[in-house]
Chain A
Amino acid sequence: MGSGEPVGSTGVPLIGNTIVRNLADKGGGIYLATRKTPGGPVAAMRNCIVTDARRGGGVQMEPDVRMYLWYTDVFANAGGDYVGLPNQTGLNGNLSVNPRYADLAGGDYHLKSQAGRWVPGSGTWVKDDETSLCIDAGDPASPFDREPPPNGGRVNMGADGNTEEASKSFTGMMLGHVPASGQTNMSTKTAVMITFRWTVQEGSVEQRFPLTPAGGSPVPGRFAWGRANRAVTFIPTKPLQGLTPYTVTLAKNVQRLDGTVLDWSESFSFTTGASAFGALAVTATAGQTASGGAAITVDLSSAANVAVTVLNVGGASWPNCRVRSAIGPQHSALGWSVSSGHSGAARSLPDADHGPRRRRPAEPGAGGRQPGTLTALEPAARAAMGGCSGRNPARAARSTKWS
């Protein structure tokens, strides 16, 4: 494996192919054979999707072969995604996510998109209820000009990347929101904050904003506007029900300040925890950082002003652990565990030892990060984690469900 451009390569590179449901004893998706010619070239692959091999793995190569792999999704291949080479997920833009084909069984490998997907043979576009993470996930340096708008300014992975049939980039009206989609254990006292892509008319939003518990009626509350009509916070007048799924909906016909009517609706859901404090959920994923430490995500979104200390088994602090939001000492007794085999205990420390108490401002265009997220990952690696807690917030926004 190499990370740079191949030098002297004469193997024709694979760019933007969808390689799916193939089968072999070795290399169900792709196999790089031993060179018979000394000093032979290398292979290179970029912007491809390699999934669902029925046998033999996704990518397999012999030891004397070199291969360069960029911005490629390798996922769900029987026999392993990578055989004979290290897992490339998270490196050089490579992913391992479900590409969300239009119809895997039926052989339609166009990527699902809430903004529009080409339907072969019909000459039409349809909108899906979800958006593939492979859209706009190709090499930023690759051309994308043939993709129909909105194309996100970045090429899609797979066979339709930079073609007229490329699935469209989803640009919903919600640039970001808190809670995040699918978030659990939310405080029953949580508010809902939405950042819009455009400036919007307040009334058109407030009239189309139900926060509804499963099987219940919309929750009453008030709206607080900010950021020049690009952000709104909905504050319920009374605590939400515990352990209950809630759905936030922005119904169609929200209007932008310039008068444009947004003729679609968007929604997302979250679930409350047992109390106003929610619950602490701690997960750790091994092997995700270059420094060798474990990445830990602590979901503290419902617990403000809490401090945490992370210890390994030997008692020393993880050196690359940074606290983004602290919890107070009154919650340290809740206890937590690390899923990667480590164990530890949270203990209260003076606030000064663990960074500022304030929330980190939302990143421009990212829709705000999840409050209380604790991570040790660098941005590139975080993005590479895809659907995990460290994924790119912009990607998370794309998984917002439409109706």
Chain B
Amino acid sequence: MIELIDVKKVFNQGKPNEFVAIDGVSLFIEANHVTVFKGPSGSGKTTLLSLIGAMARPTSGRIKVMEREITSLPERFLTEVRRKVFGFIFQQFNLVRGVSVLENVMLPAYPLEEGYASLKKRAMGLLDLFGVVNKAPSKVEWLSGGEAQRVAIARALINNPSVIIADEPTGNLDSKLSQEFMDTLGRLKEDRRTILISSHDPIVHESPIAEKVILVRDGRVVDT
């Protein structure tokens, strides 16, 4: 499904503050599995996820998504891959403040050609699925942490991606909400989606739904 071959990511290359974030990682991630990247802060988990999710390019090495090499794709095509294949859930939720919950969920599909009415129907369906449909007209800053995360999940699913990437998803949640989140991911897995999570939260990597836990340290895969 997703393959990384000797991937390296260097920030500020050639400058005095050069920093190697990912140092020659090779990996194979299976489809329809839940894979958790575990490791301390600064170990390179987030960078690894952003490389896999076509948000950034590696300094060297190759990344293949569904047999297709994405490393050398021009920006436009990279965006298309990001839009069609991946759905992102961020630690800070990254919802757009000041606009409604409904609009936030619809946002990833705005540049696409689907009509407004059918898009709205799908967005409402997703909000309903996660129990926040009554919050549709509310501004996102009025939501509680758990509600904001459910909205973020609904947004990640609006373009019906096959891979969900969640970066420290329980970082801002208490234990109960973290458990709820893992249950939600379990449902998504049953939907035959591939799920990649970065976390140093035991609730996540000790969860029964986590089929593969990859330990990352100093930009390298230490243990799988």
Judge: A and B partners, yes or no: no
A-to-B contact residues, CB < 8 Å: none
B-to-A contact residues, CB < 8 Å: none
